Every structure is written in C-alpha cells, then in structure tokens.
Homo-oligomer: A and B are copies of this chain.
Amino acid sequence: MKNTFGNNVAVTLFGESHGECIGAVIDGLAPGMCVDNDYIRHMLSLRRPQGDFSTPRVEKDDFKIVSGILNGKTTGTPLTILIPNENVQSAPYTDMARAARPSHADYTAEMKYHGFQDARGGGHFSGRLTAAVVAAGAICKQALEKKGITIGTRIKRCAKISDREWGELKADLDTLNQKTFATLDDAKAEEMKAAILDAKSNGDSVGGILETVVLGMPAGIGEPYFDTMESMLSHALFSIPALKGVEFGAGFSLCDMRGSESNDPMQAENGKVVTTTNHAGGICGGITNGMPLIFSTAIKPTPTIARAQNTVDLDTLTDTVLEARGRHDPAIVHRARVVQDAVTALGLCDMIATHLGTDALNA
C-alpha cells in the first residue's frame, strides 16, 4: 500500500525535502517497549553527512515523538516521529528544477504526478526521507536487540575497494554499530574515503555494496509464498534510494556453483540444528533456519554530480545540458547502511509480530 510497509507492524512515511517536516507513523508496536531517544539520536547521527565525503547540508535531525509513547514506553497505539526540515536552500534546485537530473526521479515523478509533485530538493524522493525511516527503525532495532537479535551492516565494497572478511560475527556487529564509516577493516575505510574524495575532486561520485548480518533470529519465521523472508526484506530494501540489487547468502555467486558445493550440510549441535556453511543466508523455502541472516545490496553512485550532463527540459521536452550545483554527496553508501539496518529491523519486527502476535516484541 503505497507509502506504508508491513502487515502487522506497519510504517507509513511522509514528507518532502523542503517541506515543514518529514516523519513516520509506526503502528503495531507492542505496548511497553522502551523507546530510547539516545539510541534514535545515535542512529540518526550515523546517517548524517560526515566530513568532506558527504554533502555540506547539515541536518540536525531534531526529532520528536508526538504520539504512541508515555513515560518512555510505547503505548501500543501509533507512534509518530516528526523531524523538522532546517537549513533548507531551495535556490540551487529551483534553477535547475525543469532540467531533469539524469538517473534521478525528476522525470518519472513528472510522469506520475503530472507536474504537481514538490520538486524542491527532490521532494518526497529525497534521501532526506530516510532520516524518518532510520528513526522508526531505531526503535525496532533496539527492541530486537533486547530479544537477542542483533542487526549490523557494513560497507563490503566501495569505489572498487573491498573490506576484509567477517571475523567473529557478534563482535564485528557490535563494532560496526558504533562506526560512522562502517567497515571491518579501518585501513580499508581510509582507502575508500580517499577514493570518494578523489571522485569528488573530479566532480564525480561512487557506489558500493552493503552487507547486512542478523544474529539471533529464531527459526520458522517467513512464508513459502508470497511473503517469504526474502520477499519482505527485499520489498523494504528496494525503497532505499539508489539501491538496485539484493542477494541473500551467496546470492549471484551460487550461479556458478554445483549443488554439492552450494548446499549447506546440516548437523545437530547442542540440541539445535545448524548448517556448516551458510550459502542460503539463513533462509530456506522463504523461512528462517536459525542461522545468521546474511544479504548484500548494490548501491549505485550518487546520481547528482558536478559535471555537465545531457538531459531534457521537462517543460519543453527538448534537449538541454545540466550543470548541477546543489549540495550533494560524492557517496552515500556509508549513510545508506544505517537505512539498511533500519528497514531490516522494521521488516523483521513485522514478520515476528505476524507469527507470534502483537505483544511478541515486548515478550
């Protein structure tokens, strides 16, 4: 249903980049869940622009929760988060408003909304809206943590530079969740940052791959059709602007394996069933198997670049050349990873509530 995701824990997103505020309503949260504003602030801070390799638009992200909470705990009724828009500079966008930015939503929004869309700063399509997603996801992520379910996302690859392999997963996740530029190997992070700055100095941008791991998910969550765990998570993930691919477990590399390689052998371990490899990414037949959930996503380079680009004028439908000037990010992969954590948390909470009921998130 358009701007709402989730069946039993549902988030509704609203707002425009240069409007009064953006926000989200989360419905279906169990009553009595702790809402920790510091944790929300922490996750928002990780999403915020950082240093030279981000847009200079400084967003304070001063959120407030105007419903669904009492004495720091959820009431069980819809929880609404508002984040005011500040430091808005519409001018640079206005100048170029009618020259469609290539690989942005300018043209598709025009086709869908017949010119009535709020084009300022990308309007409803702005990455700015992901701040509200992050705030909503933060509440879910912390609730999952209390149930022993930990989510973390790292930059697996950026500007052709790859991070190291995973070590001990729980320790790695805990470390990642404190980092502003989330790689496992700090040296690789510095290389990536340098490559981002190099692209920036050329008026260009870069993309990357994000990888998420979830520990502690119980087995048995998901549906065979059509709400498979992969279906629900990918549905949410593909709402992240710039995300163009999702693969679970070994994903596309499974294509070149044989079954004898790709199958995950099973064994009993302390009364539990585990697999000795995890090419399936923790999901078989659309349902969790109790192993770590693992998936990767493709983040395209930021489409706004400081170079001349051939495009069309939306008013005249004639060719023109666009030279962008707004404040933009030479890379968003390091910011998008927080959004990926957030939508993962929202999706998992929804599926847990579907299987175990309304109160399960606080059980």
Contacts and interface: CB of A to CB of B under 8 A. Distances in A.
Interface string A64-88: 1011101001111111101000000
Contacts of A118: 70, 75, 77
Contacts of A290: 111
A165 B74 CA distance: 44
29 contacts: A2-B27, A3-B223, A4-B12, A5-B226, A7-B8, A12-B12, A14-B25, A23-B67, A31-B113, A32-B113, A66-B82, A75-B123, A103-B263, A109-B224, A111-B287, A125-B285, A160-B256, A199-B259, A204-B259, A225-B239, A244-B252, A245-B254, A263-B309, A266-B310, A266-B311, A267-B312, A268-B312, A273-B317, A356-B358
A263 B12 contact: no
A271 B311 CA distance: 14
A205 interface: yes
Contacts of A357: 353-357, 360
Nearest to A105: B285
A210 B92 CA distance: 42
B236 A234 contact: no
Interface in A196-236: 199, 202-209, 219-228, 230-232, 234-236
Interface stretch (A45-53, A169-177, A180-188, A297-305): A297-305
Given A75-B116, A208-B255, A246-B246, 6 more contacts: A31-B116, A76-B117, A105-B286, A234-B234, A265-B309, A267-B319
Contacts of A359: 114, 355
Interface stretch (A36-44, A55-63, A142-150, A274-282): A274-282
A139 to B, nearest CB: 14
Contacts of A342: none
A351 to B, nearest CB: 11
Given A231-B234, A287-B111, A102 B264 contact: yes
Contacts of A115: 31
A69 to B, nearest CB: 8
B254 A298 contact: yes
A241 B285 contact: yes
Interface in A277-329: 279-281, 283-290, 298-305, 307, 309-312, 317-319
Contacts of A356: 357-358
Contacts of A307: 260
A304 B305 CA distance: 48
B108 A285 contact: yes
Contacts of A304: 259
A95 interface: no
A328 to B, nearest CB: 10
Contacts of A220: 108, 111-112
Q: Which 4 A-B pairs have the closest CB atoms?
A: A105-B285, A245-B247, A357-B357, A111-B220
Contacts of A279: 103, 300
A133 B31 CA distance: 24
